[in-house]
Structure 1
Amino acid sequence: MSTTEHNHGAVRETPDRYGAFPRLTPEQLQDLTAHGERRRVAEGEVLYREGEPFREFLAILSGSVEILHDHGGPEERTVAVHGPGRFLGELGLLEGQAAFDTAVMRQTGEVLAVTVERQRALVDREPVLGDLILRAYLGRRYLLIGLGAGFRILGSCYSPDTLRLREFAARNRLPHRWVDLEKDKEADALLRRFSIRPEETPVVLWKGERVLRNPSNAELARLIGLPAPSPEAARCDVMVVGAGPAGLAASVYGASDGLTTVTVDAVATGGQAATSSRIENYLGFPSGISGGELIERAVLQAHKFGARLMVPAQVTGLTPQDDEYVVTFTDGSRVRAGAVVLASGVWYRRLEVPDIDRLEGVSVYYAATVHEASLCRADPVGVVGGGNSAGQASLFLADHASRVHLLVRGGDLNADMSRYLVDQVERHPKIEVLLHTEVRGVSGEEGLESLVVEDNASGERRELRAAALFVFIGARPRTDWLKGVLALDEKGFVLTGADARAAADASRWDSLGRGPLLLETTLPGVFAVGDVRSGSVKRVASAAGEGAMAIRFVHEHREVTGNLVRSAGSEGSRPATGRPVA
């Protein structure tokens, strides 16, 4: 991205071409001074180091700072150079993650240091300053991802565990680089350097020295500093299962209402929304917002109100016990909850095409993020699907690929896609819409090279050149663990409200003197929101609205005596405080 340039002893800072390196105004620096301390720093001093947690927010008053990746290692490179008025850090500072680069003082000067805890409070309390810092940090995170900074995943493209680690890193928006054991020239050198046998891969390489051999997702999460389950979360007022827009909204409103709120997700915060390159019809963002940015903002907001987010943490059981619910996880740990909000979303449906499984994760994907787009390298790609996700992905990929073939099984793009997206897709010069078209075959040795597609109206087949295929053909609910626990519809979605009332065991509700509330399931105090709920509207805004509504219903449920969970004021529960749900 940049190299350090010296001119008569001066260090030229990196231009802010990406909006990731804004400069604080004198007034903002003055305001920050009241919350921190001024510190003189000598040339060559390390301000923070890759792989270690951030301890301070640092603003530069004089001198210059160089941001380095792989500092002191064989691949050391400059990421950016900052001068007076700029500030250091990236998203990990606000989210409690380890640093993905190193900051070194290149010219003696002075910095303003504010503790991380105080800086997080300032971001919450000062909207203008907070928005400036958050936007910069989001931009820097995506730049780091594009640069391949962070940890390295060394493994074969044919290994399911390699695919698992790459997906976990990409879904959690963690800077990393994949070194393909089969094709990358540096793979052999890394194997020798770290004395790794090929059969021990995949491995994760961190800070140029640490090796994790085929780590679990949880082990990788702990390495980076993602929040881990802890004994202090052994009981909560509300357990939210799933951290997509619906789950995060429930987290924000639950925590802001004074309820002890724990939110868990098996893979990553954000759900499907986090993989959307651009959401243009979300209220309040007239120019659109990327799914990743929307989710990062929601995560920070949930943290602000005191919600605990734990990733990865996969739920396997839900059991009424005494007057509460016991939520069980794959590692055998348990959390007792007064109420439960199910927001577990859906799984992507796989494309059923012969021999496609060997290409999944290599050149067949079920999301279109910066990570996948960077692999296109100006080649043509295919996108399968006729809904909004497929339309958004096509527009995003058109900025990276030489051509995008949008393959739609039906005969009308308007059937499942929003009008504004249809207009943009049809106008884009690099997108070709092929209606009545289905994929029948794939070819390529180490990666996808071409597709065999069929016109399902005429039966005619032809071959399309494509280096990658992105699939958006719907999803199925993540409810296998709920079968026999509460009522599901014929497709596995959770029944709520009137539908739950019709399927509920009346004896379970007699003591309450009521039936299921609007978003309540056949279990009192267990609510379902977002895509997992039967009959839900598959939109980010409606998912967030349902998440907020669910907390209102949690309050109503807690006010009823004699229910399955403790009412407010009972031992082990504290009454809700704060403003009501809007």
Structure 2
Amino acid sequence: MAIYDTFKTRSAQALPKLAPAEIRRIQRFGTLICFRDGECMFEAGRTSFGMYVVLKGAIRISRYDGLGNSSVITEHGVGEFAGEISQLAGAPSLVNGHAVDDVEVLALTTESLRALLIAEAELGERIVRAFILRRVEQLDNKDGGVVLVATPGHARMHALQGWLNSNGLPHRVLDPRSDAQARALVERYQPQAEDWPLAVCPDGGVKKNPSVVDLGRCLGTLPPLNPDDIWDVIVVGAGPAGLATAVYAASEGLSVLVLETRAYGGQAANSARIENYLGFPTGISGGALAGRAFVQSQKFGVKMAIPAPAGRLLCDTYPLQVEMCGSLTHLQGRTVVLSCGARYRRPSLANLKQFESKGVYYWASPLEAGLCANDEVILVGGGNSAGQAAVYLSGHAAKVHVLIRKDSLASTMSSYLIDRIAATPNIALHTESEIVALEGCDEEGLEKVVVRNQRNQEETTYNIRHVFLFIGADPNTGWLSDCGVQVDDKGFILTGFDVPGAPASARAGLETSVPGVFAIGDVRAKSTKRVAAAVGEGAAVVSQIHGFLASRSR
């Protein structure tokens, strides 16, 4: 069968063949199942399974969407296996699988698959690598997953596409003005102005003007959560710190639930290139680092819910309870780890909200870079994230104007980034400068930006349609008020020795003023705002969780 571009140079890794001895090692994890020729073995958007190892016949894998479009990807023959990242997460399949001839398979559930990956490390590495490359193939070809229908430039599309991209979920966009299937869908559902865009889920369900919660439910990133379950650890926030806690805790046998508002990786996932993270001498993008950590968490059985914003933390009972935002659902945890990070800081501009996602952005992903190709852009901010974004955007935009309030970058940015910005010809640094006005309209979005130089008070108007704001963030701690978790005067969570009246045993810890509640990463007072430091805290807190749980069981 035809193999697509992603597989051409890495087919041995994406489509590996297991040796008879390897299949024998897998047998204790699976069950023998038979299918007739042509029978549907699993269906996009509907069927959840772990992995199928082919013993006889073959499985034809087809890309499929809710509009009924299907195209063959490949066939798995004897000794090969079916599955990809969705199967690690226990989510519905994103592809169809049909039996070719009479088929016998060794069927593994999601739980059995995870057990195999842990017990057979070398074999597990090959399986996980294949799963990752198969998801990459889906993302490259964009013929499966969710189908979004709208005319270009619709205000809601950027947010939906950004969420899908950030979570590594395949999708495609159809314009009803030029695509016959999209036009037929519009004629059938007759959407009003408030109904756009339309989203077609893999199972064929159609949603009008969907939220990211709607997309999460139809793609399986937001699974049903049972309020009767009691988790050893509930992690609030899936940035680098939260992901580290999830991986280390689950690998040590604790049951872990992670609640994330937007996408795994947090703000770090938006870094175009992290060059000072230990072990990556050529650098790694924040998205790639976060993606690897996410897969690692799934391997160890972490339950991930996205988007699942926490609304309140309730500490007057034990187990502790997290109330979900917008509902009365209470989730129970023996411990809660707060790695909820921060919210993007917004400048005081009267019409800022009008242009968010229509010219004003708080991160710089390939989606945004594609929008500003060959245009001039403005980027505001002087930290490392701003520097990484400026360098990344300079490879797409005609010119990047970097605005900072200080007179230099020396006190806020790493020297290697300062040197790189200085050496990049299409980056212009404007010191002691700030945006004072945004101009445009609802239909066209941002059109002009007024910048004031604070030294001489001169104002300059730029014909610029894209502004990137990297001016820091405020701690995301307002939702903790019902629990009494103590924070400092800036809203960051106090831990260990910094908690007033903390006992000596807590002085080196990451526990907050509430027993069993821990804080790590950027949301913690006096934390080092670096990815490596966040990962370190995420790992370190697990031993303290063990200590707390042991004390409760005495």
* Pick aligned residue for 1:259 from 251, 254, 258: 254
Alpha-carbon shift at residue 430 of structure 1 (Å): 4.2
Structure 1: runs of 5 or more not aligned:
1-10, 561-566, 570-582
**C-alpha contact 1:495 1:522 (8 A) present in aligned 2:** yes
Question: Which amino acid in the other structure matches residue 471 of structure 2?
Answer: I
Give the stretch that moved more between structures: 398-407 or 141-150.
Answer: 141-150
Question: Which amino acid in the other structure matches residue 349 of structure 1?
Answer: R
Match of 1:97 in 2: 91
**C-alpha contact 1:42 1:109 (8 A) present in aligned 2:** yes
Question: Which amino acid in the other structure matches residue 386 of structure 2?
Answer: A
Distance (whole Å) between structure 2 residues aligned to residue 219 and residue 352 of structure 1: 32
**C-alpha contact 1:496 1:518 (8 A) present in aligned 2:** yes
Question: Which amino acid in the other structure matches residue 494 of structure 1?
Answer: I
Task: State the secondary structure of the residue aligned to 1:199.
Answer: helix
**C-alpha contact 1:382 1:470 (8 A) present in aligned 2:** yes
| C-alpha distance after superposition, 1:148-174 (max 9, x if no partner) | 542134468998866664454344332
* Pick aligned residue for 1:548 from 531, 534, 539: 539
Distance (whole Å) between structure 2 residues aligned to residue 312 and residue 493 of structure 1: 23
Task: State the secondary structure of the residue aligned to 1:289.
Answer: coil
Alpha-carbon shift at residue 361 of structure 1 (Å): 1.4
Question: Which amino acid in the other structure matches residue 392 of structure 2?
Answer: F
Distance (whole Å) between structure 1 residues aligned to residue 390 and residue 188 of structure 2: 41
- Does residue 460 of the first structure (1) align with residue 453 of the second (2)? no
Residues 386 and 143 from structure 1, CA distance in 2 versus in 1: closer, same or farther, beyond 3 angstroms?
farther
**C-alpha contact 1:327 1:335 (8 A) present in aligned 2:** yes
Residues 313 and 402 from structure 1, CA distance in 2 versus in 1: closer, same or farther, beyond 3 angstroms?
same
Residues 126 and 414 from structure 1, CA distance in 2 versus in 1: closer, same or farther, beyond 3 angstroms?
farther
* Pick aligned residue for 1:220 from 201, 215, 239: 215
| C-alpha distance after superposition, 1:517-573 (max 9, x if no partner) | 52122222221110111111111111111122222222333444xxxxxx125xxxx
Give me the identity figure in percent.
35
* Pick aligned residue for 2:3 from 10, 13, 18: 13
Distance (whole Å) between structure 2 residues aligned to residue 384 and residue 272 of structure 1: 16
Distance (whole Å) between structure 2 residues aligned to residue 490 and residue 145 of structure 1: 44
**C-alpha contact 1:172 1:269 (8 A) present in aligned 2:** yes
Distance (whole Å) between structure 2 residues aligned to residue 516 and residue 157 of structure 1: 55
Task: State the secondary structure of the residue aligned to 1:415.
Answer: coil
Match of 1:52 in 2: 46
Describe how 1:146-161 pairs up with structure 2 within 5 A.
148-149=142-143, 150-154=145-149
Match of 1:473 in 2: 471
Alpha-carbon shift at residue 323 of structure 1 (Å): 4.8
* Pick aligned residue for 2:517 from 511, 522, 526: 526
Aligned pair count reads 541
Structure 2: runs of 5 or more not aligned:
none
Task: State the secondary structure of the residue aligned to 2:263.
Answer: coil
Task: State the secondary structure of the residue aligned to 2:186.
Answer: helix
- Does residue 325 of the first structure (1) align with residue 320 of the second (2)? yes
Alpha-carbon shift at residue 478 of structure 1 (Å): 0.8
Question: Which amino acid in the other structure matches residue 430 of structure 2?
Answer: L
Distance (whole Å) between structure 1 residues aligned to residue 376 and residue 82 of structure 2: 38
Distance (whole Å) between structure 2 residues aligned to residue 293 and residue 137 of structure 1: 15
* Pick aligned residue for 2:194 from 188, 191, 199: 199
Match of 1:380 in 2: 376
Question: Which amino acid in the other structure matches residue 426 of structure 1?
Answer: A
Match of 1:576 in 2: none
Question: Which amino acid in the other structure matches residue 531 of structure 1?
Answer: D
**C-alpha contact 2:66 2:200 (8 A) present in aligned 1:** no
**C-alpha contact 1:497 1:516 (8 A) present in aligned 2:** yes
Residues 44 and 306 from structure 1, CA distance in 2 versus in 1: closer, same or farther, beyond 3 angstroms?
closer
Question: Which amino acid in the other structure matches residue 285 of structure 1?
Answer: F
Match of 1:579 in 2: none
RMSD: 4.0
Question: Which amino acid in the other structure matches residue 419 of structure 1?
Answer: S
Residues 51 and 319 from structure 1, CA distance in 2 versus in 1: closer, same or farther, beyond 3 angstroms?
closer
Match of 1:497 in 2: 496
Alpha-carbon shift at residue 438 of structure 1 (Å): 2.1
Match of 2:265 in 1: 270
Task: State the secondary structure of the residue aligned to 1:220.
Answer: helix
**C-alpha contact 2:403 2:430 (8 A) present in aligned 1:** yes
Residues 208 and 374 from structure 1, CA distance in 2 versus in 1: closer, same or farther, beyond 3 angstroms?
farther
Task: State the secondary structure of the residue aligned to 1:254.
Answer: helix
Q: TM-score, normalised by structure 2?
A: 0.82
Match of 1:391 in 2: 387
| C-alpha distance after superposition, 1:478-506 (max 9, x if no partner) | 1111236121111111111222135x6xx
Residues 43 and 334 from structure 1, CA distance in 2 versus in 1: closer, same or farther, beyond 3 angstroms?
closer
Distance (whole Å) between structure 1 residues aligned to residue 418 and residue 54 of structure 2: 45
Question: Which amino acid in the other structure matches residue 450 of structure 2?
Answer: V
Distance (whole Å) between structure 2 residues aligned to residue 518 and residue 389 of structure 1: 28
Task: State the secondary structure of the residue aligned to 2:553.
Answer: coil
Distance (whole Å) between structure 2 residues aligned to residue 259 and residue 404 of structure 1: 47
Distance (whole Å) between structure 2 residues aligned to residue 374 and residue 142 of structure 1: 19
Match of 1:297 in 2: 292
Distance (whole Å) between structure 2 residues aligned to residue 558 and residue 64 of structure 1: 46
Match of 2:108 in 1: 115
Alpha-carbon shift at residue 349 of structure 1 (Å): 1.1
Give the stretch that moved more between structures: 340-349 or 143-152.
Answer: 143-152
Alpha-carbon shift at residue 93 of structure 1 (Å): 3.0
**C-alpha contact 1:409 1:435 (8 A) present in aligned 2:** yes
Question: Which amino acid in the other structure matches residue 3 of structure 2?
Answer: E
**C-alpha contact 1:14 1:82 (8 A) present in aligned 2:** no
Distance (whole Å) between structure 2 residues aligned to residue 380 and residue 447 of structure 1: 15
| C-alpha distance after superposition, 1:145-198 (max 9, x if no partner) | 4655421344689988666644543443322345689x9887765421333333
Alpha-carbon shift at residue 246 of structure 1 (Å): 1.2
Match of 1:564 in 2: none
**C-alpha contact 2:377 2:466 (8 A) present in aligned 1:** yes
Residues 416 and 382 from structure 1, CA distance in 2 versus in 1: closer, same or farther, beyond 3 angstroms?
same
Give the stretch that moved more between structures: 546-555 or 513-522.
Answer: 513-522
